[in-house]
Amino acid sequence: MKAIHDKIKGVAIQYDNIFLVNGARTPFGKLCGSLGQVSPTDLGIYATRAAIEKSGIKGEDIDQLMYANIGQSSSDSYFLPRHIGLYSGIPEGIPAVMLQRICGSGFETIIAGAEQISLGKAQTALCGGTENMSLSPTAAFGNRMGYALGKPGFVDMLWEALNDTAAVPMGCTAENVAQKHGITKEDANIFAKQSIDKYLAAKQRGFFDGEIVKMNSAEFAIDGLITRKVRLPKNAVDFSTDENVRPADLEAMSKLPSVFARDGVQTAGNSSGIVDGAASVVVAHKNFITTKGLKPLTRIVASATSALDPRVMGLGPVPAIKLVLEVAGLSLSEIGLIEINEAFAAQFIGCEKELGLNRDICNVNGGAIALGHPLAATGTRLSLTLSREMNIRGVKYGIASACIGGGQGTAILFENCNI
């Protein structure tokens, strides 16, 4: 392994013989939609059971489980990773841990899994993230100690999650990027429409059928444990729809009001959707893959995490991508596909400008502006989507990346091991 730790550039590592075998995700339900009453734990169980099955292994083959959840939104969230493991058929002797790097958390689980395998603490790891943003609670901090008359102090935790109290709200960071790079509302809307159009084209050709698990009401029963019962709406049979997606019309989009700044560029139409969903992948060492006769999607070559001014947090993928290329000894011209999470249209365009990206190879199946951004699940979803598309196109190298609230960025470099 080769590693870098630099107080300006960030931290990065190159891996040996670590692979992303396969994975699965739930459909992403719109805010208060079909998945609105499904706990994040249960969403994670759906995705994890499907990921294990698609990888051609059994739960008993998993050595460690690392899972992410940002906005704890059910009463049993403290136990979330452990319960996901137990109810997915992973043996009770296998430990589980919850990780959190906000929007980079899904990536962080893959990085942690790869590092645990590299340290010899596992041959396989189940990695993923889950989020139910619809169930995000209204909280009264300190109410146990009482409150002044008429001042109960309730806050909407979903709304509060969008505000970095050390700097500016998340949407304002996108406006700062827009000002820095002269990005207009029209620019943002054009990019958003492209994202949605690419998603709709990918759906039409059946691309997402290869990663979405069909969901029905279910009971997750494991000997010795209390059965978990999940009930979806009656019309949600074989539910497999990314509900946030809606066709885009530039004229209609131009009439939407700015959300974060007077005469700003960001609107509800060119920002990522607030959705519910989970995604899981299996990460494994080459020795395990060879023994089991598996055909993994990609090799995990390297990862990097960087930090920057929180007021322009959306540019986080820029230093992270530069650093992951440096540690791997590659140039951007050698990368055939790129996935950068579309937190905001201006944020992506800012990264595009600073890195000199070719938009034709970026987010080729659409992005979060179309299907949504379930915080903890996004990094895992991006990694899986990218790995699958690399195999479809015969692309050798791909990078998945995301900006992170508070001013960070993470990137993972993948190599197609099937060409």
103 is catalytic: yes
SS3 (DSSP) at 303: strand
How far is Cα 124 from Cα 363, in angstroms, rounded to an integer?
28
Burial class (CB in 10 A: 0-12, 13-18, 19+), 151: exposed
Q: Which of 32, 103, 172, 417 is catalytic?
A: 103
- Of 376, 362, 372, 363, nearest to 404 (Cα)? 376
How many residues in the chain?
A: 419
Strand (E) or helix (H) holding 192: helix 185-204
Q: Which of 127, 362, 403, 417 is catalytic?
A: 403
- Of 171, 174, 177, 191, nearest to 253 (Cα)? 191
How far is Cα 399 from Cα 303, in angstroms, rounded to an integer?
9
403 is catalytic: yes
**Chain centre distance of CA 362:** 16
Residue 48 phi, psi (nearest 5) = -70, -45
Contact 39, 78 (CB under 8 A): no
How far is Cα 369 from Cα 270, in angstroms, rounded to an integer?
6
Residue recorded with tokens 């920057």: 308
Burial class (CB in 10 A: 0-12, 13-18, 19+), 239: buried
Residue 344 phi, psi (nearest 5) = -145, 150
- Do β-strands 298-307 and 408-416 pair in parallel, antiparallel, or remain unpaired? antiparallel
* CA angle, 371 then 374 then 377, to 5°: 110
**Chain centre distance of CA 128:** 8
So which residues are the catalytic ones?
103, 403
